[in-house]
Structure 1
Amino acid sequence: MKAAKLLLLAGDFVEDYEIMVPFQALQMVGHSVDAVCPGKKKGDQVRTAIHDFEGDQTYSEKRGHNFTLNATFDEIDVNDYDGLVVPGGRAPEYLRLNEKVLDIVRHFAHEDKPIAALCHGPQLLAAAGVLQGRKLNAYPACAPEVTLAGGTFVKLEFSEAHVDGNLVTGPAWTAHPAWLAKFLEVVEMHLTAPVA
């Protein structure tokens, strides 16, 4: 398997599992992952939030770990990356206000590079205007944003993930096994596709 270079977009109060699990798992199978956050540099940290499902009408939120970034946002060149990972939590809510973040998302979408977005991550895709005609999943409370952005919300069990071309989505960290497995398949296809 050829190694991919992946970009992970982080921000304060990103969901704890949704940043740490893909960050570690994708490296474990041999890929390189650069985790970045606007306004922060390599070695800085973002705070995480733990979202859990405890029988309430929506998820509960608790303070998570500090996550150390391993790359500097202002130094990245999107052309160097094979794929994009967008975890959920509260970070996408404010990251979507950053035009450079939206330009990064548009690059991966327009270049048809693999994109993995989980939970509230599709808020960034909606704000970047790249969901028109796409079928995807997200945390169910984000379904109206998916629809308003021109996408079709696909209902899934919380352990499932959905693939639409280069886009791999799921509802929450509970879908990690399916979401990461499907993303790895999409990355592998991208890396082995003949160059046009």
Structure 2
Amino acid sequence: MAKLLLLAGDFVEDYEIMVPFQALQAMGHTVDAICPEKAKGETIKTAIHDFEGDQTYSEKPGHLFTLNASFNDIKPEDYDGLVIPGGRAPEYLRMNDSVLTLVRHFIESDKPVAAICHGAQLLAAAVSLSGRQVSAYPACAAEVRLAGGDYADIPVEQAITCGHLVTAPAWPAHPEWLKQFQTLLSSLES
């Protein structure tokens, strides 16, 4: 089974951190959840984004999520893959040089990366997306294109794999997004 890193921050989308964190562990993977400037045992706040017929998602307070690893203690080379949940966290995490270096490691090493929703903001800030099809929350389409990527405008419950990168528009895609990520992780074992 794979050893995975989950990168998050305050106001990460609640479902987009909790569901993959638990589901990937249930599949037998080790998942270390980290946040810059926070240590193992500390918490981050989550936000619940819902689709209620408005022009964009609504946002409500979520839960506290307890980190199980410390950002400053991890070594990216010790991990097989990276998970980037969405929410508001990627918006400010993309301004952290250490975070961008971390994301670059996984992309440039061709390790499996799963990014959902606003997670594409971190991808676009860290690397060129030229030659890659990338899905994201529609509000992030401009950033994907500005980073040279081909924005994949797919239904909210779908995901797309392009090389070692699996992306999806939002949490309704969890079943497909996680299934495609698991396919990439399974290829590590062959």
TM-score (norm 1): 0.96
2:102 corresponding residue in structure 1? 104
Is 1:106–1:130's contact at 8 Å kept on the other side of the alignment? no
2:131 to 133, 142, 147: 133
In the alignment, the residues of structure 1 paired with residue 188 and residue 128 of structure 2 have an alpha-carbon distance, to the nearest angstrom, of 19
2: CA distance between counterparts of 1:77 and 1:57? 41
Match of 1:8 in 2: 6
Deviation at 1:104, TM superposition (A): 0.6
Give the aligned partner of residue 142 of structure 2. Answer: 144
Residue 44, structure 1, aligned to residue 42, structure 2 = yes
Q: Which residue pairs with 2:60 in the alignment?
A: 62
**Normalising by structure 2, what TM-score?**
0.99
Matched residue count: 190
Query: Matched residues in 2 for 1:8 and 1:84: separation?
Result: 6
Find 2:173's aligned residue among 148, 172, 175.
Answer: 175
Q: Which runs of structure 1 show a deviation greater than 2 angstroms over 4 or more consecutive aligned residues?
A: none
CA contact (8 A) 1:83 1:114 kept: yes
State the Cα RMSD in Å.
Answer: 0.6
Question: Following TM superposition, by how much is the alpha carbon of 1:155 offset from its aligned partner in structure 2, in angstroms?
Answer: 1.1
1:22 counterpart letter in structure 2: P
SS, match of residue 186 in structure 2 = helix
- Paired with 2:67 and 2:106, the residues of 1 have a C-alpha distance of 21
Q: Name 2:93's counterpart in structure 1.
A: 95
User: d(CA) in 2 for partners of 1:128 and 1:99?
Assistant: 9
8 Å contact kept, 1:50–1:64: yes
**1:168-189 CA deviation, whole Å, 9 max, x = no partner?**
0000000000000000001111
Alignment of 1:150-169 (within 5 A): 150-169=148-167
The Cα of 1:94 is off from its aligned counterpart by 0.3
| Structure 2 gaps, min length 5 | none
Tell me by how many angstroms 1:19 deviates: 0.0
1:132 Cα deviation after fit: 1.9
Cα distance in 2 for residues equivalent to 1:131 and 1:67 = 30
Contact 1:9-1:37 at 8 Å conserved across structures = yes
What is the DSSP-based 3-state SS (H/G/I as helix, E as strand, rest coil) of the residue aligned with 1:38? coil
| Mapped contact 1:109–1:130 kept (Cα < 8 A) | no
SS of 2:106's equivalent? helix
Corresponding residue to 2:188 among 177, 187, 190: 190
What do the CA deviations read for 1:89-115 (whole angstroms, capped 9, x no partner)?
000000000001000110000100000
Counterpart secondary structure, 2:114: strand
Q: Any gaps of 5 or more consecutive residues in structure 1?
A: none
CA distance in 2: counterparts of 1:190 and 1:165, whole angstroms: 13
Q: Letter of the aligned partner of 2:35 in structure 1? A: C
- Taking every aligned residue pair, what percent have the same amino acid on both sides? 65
Q: 1:11-34, CA deviations, whole angstroms, 9 ceiling, x for partnerless residues? A: 000000000000000000100000
